[in-house]
Amino acid sequence: MYLFIVNEKSGNGGGGRVWKKIREELERRGIPYDHIITRSAEEAHSYLQEKLMHPDGLNAVGVVGGDGTIHSLLPAMRGSSIPLAVFPSGSGNDTARGFRIPRKTIDALNILLEGKFRQADLISIEGGSTLTALAVGFDAEVADNVNRSAYKKICNLLGMGRLAYIIGVFHTLITFRPAPLTVDCDGAKYTFASAWLAAVNNVTSYGGGLAICPEAEPDDGMLDVCVVHDCSRLKLMLLFPTLLFGKHTRFSFVTMLRGRKVAIQSSLPRMALGDGEHVASTPLTATADPGAVRVICQSQNGLVI
């Protein structure tokens, strides 16, 4: 039996449309399932936590929603033997992108039914966990501005969720100020006189497909870190198109780091978003939590079982 957690409002109503296709296909094939239409993150988490207390006969948990919906379920899924399946219907969908889950609903359903999963790490911070990325500074402000904007809804209606984040970059450039930042990576300390952002990633992308840490792997027990520092607003603006292809790493004002434990301090308080949701502020410490969750995904180089 398969359990589905459905956020119908994700992607400005996209979740409801995706769930309709899934439900019709499950019934056509005669596959047993249960589901809940979530009204809040708290309700979804409580429901799933209760179900996982007695998981007999449960094959997988399918999440119909965006990265924020998945984020709300991580406390219940962490350490569970029941794998997580993703049906992307949000704005960013970086979880689906990081685990090679197709956007086409029936293709994603077929992957769920194959049942092959990858043992994935989590990014652990005080009070919670994140699956895709922890954004600190400018990138967090961009995501926060996008989440609270009217243009996000318009972009979602047009099926152009990534465009909302690009608009958010220009929106945030107007008011954001860079500041001194210190990053401690496995005991090695790096100081930046004027930092714009620090991204701590478990998968390659965030912000709707920006390949901020192109070498990141979600099951290597390591955190990949990108710091953008000591550059003008113009250079920062020119940097963002290169993020689409992960080509930003060649610039002198971009520093890439890797480690199991990353501590970040800033002279100005900086917002931190995990999976696009507000989770903390600086100072903060992030730690890799190896193999904490199972994610159903497409087979690639023997990385699934």
Helix (H) or strand (E) holding 83: none
For the ranges 139-143, 157-161, 270-274, the maximum mean pLDDT occurs at 270-274
What integer best gives the mean pLDDT of the chain? 90
Identify any residues that bridge with 255 across adjacent strands, giving them in sequence order: 227
CA distance 297 to 23: 20
Least confident of 26-35, 86-95, 185-194: 86-95
Q: At 212, list the tokens.
A: 């901020």
Judge contact between 108 and 97, C-beta under 8 A. Answer: no
What's the half-sphere exposure (Cβ side, CA atoms, 13 Å) at 48? 31
Q: What is the arithmetic mean of pLDDT over 209-235?
A: 95
Compute the C-alpha angle 8/102/135, nearest 5°: 70
CA distance 249 to 158: 31
Q: What is the model's pLDDT at position 155?
A: 78
Q: What is the model's pLDDT at position 299?
A: 63
Domain borders along the chain are 2-121, 130-290
- b/e map of 118-131 (b: 16 or more CB within 10 Å)? bbbbbbbbeebbbb
Q: What is the model's pLDDT at position 161?
A: 66
Pairwise pLDDT comparison (11 vs 121), residue with the higher score: 121
Q: At 78, list the tokens.
A: 């962490």
Q: Which among 16, 14, 10, 27 is positioned nearest to 2, based on CA atoms?
A: 27
Pairing of strands 223-229, 188-201: antiparallel
Judge contact between 260 and 122, C-beta under 8 A. Answer: no
Q: Give yes or no on whether 2-121 and 130-290 have one common fold.
A: no
Pairwise pLDDT comparison (211 vs 148), residue with the higher score: 211
Q: At 213, list the tokens.
A: 């840490």
Q: Which CATH architecture has domain 2-121?
A: 3-Layer(aba) Sandwich (3.40)
- Residue 51 confidence (pLDDT) above 60: yes
- List Cβ neighbours of 296 (8 Å cut-off, separation of 6 or more): 60, 83, 84, 85, 86, 111, 112, 114, 115, 116, 117, 118
CA distance 183 to 269: 14
Per-residue pLDDT reduced to its tens digit, 244-287? 899 999 999 999 999 999 999 999 999 999 998 889 999 999 99
CATH number of 130-290: 2.60.200.40
Pairwise pLDDT comparison (304 vs 210), residue with the higher score: 210
Q: What is the model's pLDDT at position 302?
A: 41
- Residue 303 confidence (pLDDT) above 60: no
- List Cβ neighbours of 148 (8 Å cut-off, separation of 6 or more): none
